Chains A and B, each alone.
Chain A
Amino acid sequence: SQKIEQNSEALNIQEGKTATLTCNYTNYSPAYLQWYRQDPGRGPVFLLLIRENEKEKRKERLKVTFDTTLKQSLFHITASQPADSATYLCALVRGSQGNLIFGKGTKLSVKP
C-alpha cells in the first residue's frame, strides 16, 4: 500500500531562516501532492498543490518542489516568522480526485 513519510517529527529554526520540510512516498507516483498547515486543535488548512508534471510551485514565501524520480517533495518557507510555527502535513492522492493519504506531519517551531 502507499506510504508517505515526513522524516522529521519536529524542526526548530531561527526567525528569518529558511525552513525546509521533506516528504517521501513509496510505491506509485501520485497525480499530485498537497501541503497543509495544522494548528493545535484545528483542522488542516490547504497551502499548496503541485501536480506530477510540475517541478516547482511558489506562493508568497512558500515553495514546493516535486521530484517523481526521487519520490520526494520539499516544502520551503523563506524568511520564516514565529507565526509560521505549526504542524505541516504532506498529502497525496493516487488519481485526480479522492481521499488524501497524509503523512504524520512535521512540527515547525520558529524562534524569535
Chain B
Amino acid sequence: EAGVTQSPTHLIKTRGQQATLRCSPISGHTSVYWYQQALGLGLQFLLWYDEGEERNRGNFPPRFSGRQFPNYSSELNVNALELEDSALYLCASSLGSGQAYNEQFFGPGTRLTVL
C-alpha cells in the first residue's frame, strides 16, 4: 500500500513569491494535516482538512492557505514568501474525523527554501 506522498521534494523560491505544495493521502484516509518544521522549532501545526473542509487552523498568518480536493489530496499555498518560511513542510493523513484515536501517517516532506 502506498504511503503519503508529497511533491515537490525540494522547492526554492525568492522572497515575495508564492509556493504551492501538494500532498496525496493514503488510500481510504479522508483527513489531511499540514505541519511546518523549521530549524529549532519542532513541528508546528498549520492546517487540518477533512472531507473537503478546513477543520482547524494553527497560529499562522492568512498567507498560509490550502484546500482539499474531492479525491482527498491537498494543496498548501504560501503567498508573499518570507525568509523565515524556509522549513520542511510535512503532510500527514489519517482516517476521517468520525474515527477515534487516529494515528497520523506522515509523508517525506517538502523542503522549502526562501532566498
Binding site for B on A (CB under 8 A): 31-32, 34, 36, 41-46, 49, 51, 89, 91, 96-105
Can you identify 23 A-B contacts, CB atoms within 8 angstroms? A34-B104, A41-B88, A43-B4, A43-B90, A44-B90, A45-B106, A46-B103, A46-B104, A49-B103, A89-B42, A89-B43, A91-B43, A97-B31, A97-B101, A97-B102, A98-B48, A99-B45, A100-B33, A100-B35, A100-B104, A102-B35, A102-B42, A105-B42
Given A42-B108, A43-B106, A99-B56, 18 more contacts at CB 8 Å?
A34-B104, A42-B109, A43-B4, A43-B90, A45-B106, A46-B104, A49-B103, A89-B42, A89-B43, A97-B100, A98-B56, A99-B33, A99-B58, A100-B104, A102-B43, A103-B42, A104-B42, A105-B42
Categorize the interface residue count of chain B. Answer: 20 to 34
How many contacting A-B pairs (Cβ < 8 A)? Answer: 63
**Cβ contact of A31, chosen from B4, B92, B97, B101, cutoff 8 A:** B101
Binding site for A on B (CB under 8 A): 4, 31, 33, 35, 41-45, 48, 55-56, 58, 88, 90, 92, 94, 97, 99-109, 111
With a cutoff of 8 Å between Cβ atoms, the chain A residues found around residue B35 in the complex are 100, 102
